[in-house]
Structure 1
């Protein structure tokens, strides 16, 4: 799933000529702490936080005077995992989507990523979620699924991420059709898979699950 697929079309951008008061009002309206700023050509020129706006000279100051540095963004074809990682790394409540030339495509909110992860991991279906790590030389999806099915489980959804370094681990997240994964986890550990986290079906735990998963992606 790509970043462009998680864009929230309901949030408008700020313009360089907008006032601090207007910008703060927009943040309050959308219940977020960061908004992108575009120029007259529609190109992304900055991202402003609530803290930055509160440090301005006054409510009538133009926000264009507050912009410094290169704005943080992700390209439209970036994987949704990369968008999540960038958002966490820079402690952002939103992440702009823009290409290398600065053309602005839209904005992704934290809860938009939560929704996409929930869809990818089939969280609406009964069952547990496992997050695993494994050496690339030991990873074979067919073998992994076979191990699980041998122990009365079924894989409903799977997401994997390749290591960034040659010596790194492949990260795999599985949604299973069973709640009790104790035997499956034991078998996977025995076969070289390190179980990073295991989550049950408690619906109140769902948001905590995705936040933990985002932190896991950041490591």
Structure 2
């Protein structure tokens, strides 16, 4: 999934001649805290609501405002993981997208990013989750996949994390089946350490779905 495929067709950009009040009004409409400033196709920077409040002259043109974020952006060909990294690191509610000449193409909203990522990790698909804990030298994706498939299951998504100051990796595996017993037995036979399991039932799945839907409604208000 590339950045250019995530560009919003709804949220507008601003011009230097727009006022801080104009920017705040658009931010409120689209429930974001940042908007890009663009003249013609030139991406000039990203302004936040905090920038406008700190300047304390909201009626002034945006060209007179100082920007906390000079020119944060991703190129159109960058992967969604790069978009997530930038949004997370800078705590952005929108991520500008540019072409190779750094001409502005559009932006990606936080809510669109969340919905797309949820699809990538199969968040909406029914299935159990197994978390393994192992040393980095023992990690083999090929072996983990073989063990899971030999237990008559498929990996829908998998991600690896390493907590700060921890020696071991945490491997979270989303499976295509709720009954994870055969897979757990298989990992036990190969001496894998299972840190936790999360097995959905109807009540649990309904709660998760309701919470997710409520979050989506809030982000899209």
The residue aligned with 1:51 is 50
Q: In the superposition, relative to structure 1, how do residues 98 and 8 fare at CA in structure 2: closer, same or farther (>3 Å)?
A: same
| SS of equivalent to 1:14 | coil
The residue aligned with 2:97 is 97
- Asked if 1:62 is matched to 2:67, the reply is no
Correspondence 1:100-179 to 2 at 5 A: 101-130=101-130, 140-155=140-155, 157-158=156-157, 174-179=173-178
Computing the radius of gyration from Cα coordinates, the structure with the larger value is 2
Task: Give 1:151 shift.
Answer: 3.2
Q: In the superposition, relative to structure 1, how do residues 150 and 50 fare at CA in structure 2: closer, same or farther (>3 Å)?
A: same
Task: Give 1:131 shift.
Answer: 6.4
- Asked if 1:15 is matched to 2:12, the reply is no
Structure 2, gaps ≥5 residues long: 216-221
Moved more, 79-88 or 51-60: 51-60
TM-score, with normalisation over the residues of structure 1?
Answer: 0.73
Q: Check the 8 A contact 1:134/1:192 in 2, yes or no.
A: no
Task: Give 1:22 shift.
Answer: 0.5
* CA–CA separation in structure 2 for the residues paired with 1:15 and 1:75: 21
TM-score, with normalisation over the residues of structure 2?
Answer: 0.73
Task: Give 1:107 shift.
Answer: 1.0
* CA–CA separation in structure 2 for the residues paired with 1:25 and 1:160: 39
Q: Check the 8 A contact 1:20/1:58 in 2, yes or no.
A: yes
Structure 1, gaps ≥5 residues long: 212-219
Task: Give 1:133 shift.
Answer: 7.8
Instruction: Please list the CA deviations of residues 35-82 of structure 1 after superposition, one character each: whole Å capped at 9, or x if unmatched.
Output: 111123x12111111111112242320112214463111111111111
Q: In the superposition, relative to structure 1, how do residues 150 and 110 fare at CA in structure 2: closer, same or farther (>3 Å)?
A: same
Equivalent residue pairs, number: 203
The residue aligned with 1:38 is 38
Q: Check the 8 A contact 2:17/2:61 in 1, yes or no.
A: yes
Q: In the superposition, relative to structure 1, how do residues 154 and 43 fare at CA in structure 2: closer, same or farther (>3 Å)?
A: same
Q: Check the 8 A contact 1:43/1:103 in 2, yes or no.
A: yes
The residue aligned with 2:81 is 81
| SS of equivalent to 1:125 | coil
| SS of equivalent to 2:157 | strand
